[in-house]
């Protein structure tokens, strides 16, 4: 039986009639990740809500926030990464569009501090490490307080806001993820996939309209419409 906790607001569905918005407690989500419903994250949620802010425009990503990492709840999360050292940070913002697609070769633990949306795309839709079409993306609703472990190589990017005031989220990844490449990594292009390596444990494609990414050297490869949602 599906829980009312994951119910998608009717107003959000009405505001976005051109999208099928999926619940994360549905079988549809299983190919992308798993819910961690028993995981206690109250202290993480309270700390992120209190200490992090939503920017006036755009998004902000902080890979590691010590005030989150010192919490007992955070220290237990390495178990989801085979005991590997982790970083606990946050992504907040006012994003409304898909903009690009990235993947990691590790899971990503995602905690919705506010209601969020995310576009997720199967890795199998990535064509020859060169392109992926936005029509392969599926849109999921993450209610405030939900926790999910996103599988390795699932294509995603920043969350999208459900409400006009923006979103807050906690992002847990192996330590060092999203740090700049060392010189060897920066200039290594031995395979097609190497061309997508943008930062440590971060392979990425940008939509041609997303100048903030293409101007940094992210390979253009997200084809189709730059899908955008309408928040409440």
Question: What pTM did the predictor assign?
Answer: 0.95
DSSP letter at 140 equals E
The tens place of each residue's pLDDT in the chain, 232 residues long, gives 468 999 999 999 999 999 999 999 999 999 999 999 999 999 999 999 999 999 999 999 999 999 999 999 999 999 999 999 999 999 999 999 999 999 999 999 999 999 999 999 999 999 999 999 999 999 999 999 999 999 999 999 999 999 999 999 999 999 999 999 976 555 556 789 999 999 999 999 999 999 999 999 999 999 999 999 999 9
Positive or negative torsion for Cα 201, 133, 120, 90: positive
| Residue 189 pLDDT | 64
Q: Domain 18-223 belongs to what architecture? A: Sandwich (2.60)
Is-contact 108 61, C-beta < 8 A? Answer: no
The 10 Å Cβ neighbour count of residue 92 is 25
Q: What pLDDT digit, counting tens, does each position of 5-18 carry?
A: 999 999 999 999 99
**What residue spans define the domains of the chain?**
18-223
Query: What DSSP string describes 112-135?
Result: ESS-EEEEEB-GGG-BTTTBEEGG
């Amino acid at each position: 039986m599906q829980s009312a906790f994951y119910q998608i607001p009717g107003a959000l569905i009405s505001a976005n009639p051109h999208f099928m918005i999926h619940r994360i407690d549905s079988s549809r989500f299983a190919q992308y990740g798993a819910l961690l419903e028993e995981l206690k994250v109250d202290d993480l949620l309270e700390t992120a809500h209190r200490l992090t802010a939503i920017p006036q425009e755009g998004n902000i990503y902080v890979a590691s926030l010590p005030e989150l990492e010192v919490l007992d709840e955070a220290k237990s999360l390495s178990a989801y990464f085979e005991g590997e050292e982790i970083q606990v940070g946050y992504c907040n913002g006012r994003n409304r569009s898909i903009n690009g697609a990235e993947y990691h070769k590790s899971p990503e633990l995602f905690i919705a501090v506010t209601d969020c949306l995310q576009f997720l795309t199967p890795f199998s839709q990535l064509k020859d490490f060169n392109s992926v079409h936005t029509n392969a993306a599926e849109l999921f609703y993450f209610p405030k307080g939900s926790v999910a472990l996103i599988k390795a190589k699932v294509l995603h990017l920043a969350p999208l806001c459900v409400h006009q005031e923006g979103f807050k989220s906690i992002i847990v990844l192996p330590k060092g993820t999203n740090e700049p490449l060392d010189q060897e990594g920066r200039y290594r292009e031995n395979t097609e996939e190497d061309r997508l390596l943008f930062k440590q444990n971060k392979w990425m494609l940008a939509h041609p309209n997303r100048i903030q990414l293409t101007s940094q050297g992210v390979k253009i490869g997200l084809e189709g419409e730059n899908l955008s949602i309408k928040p409440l």
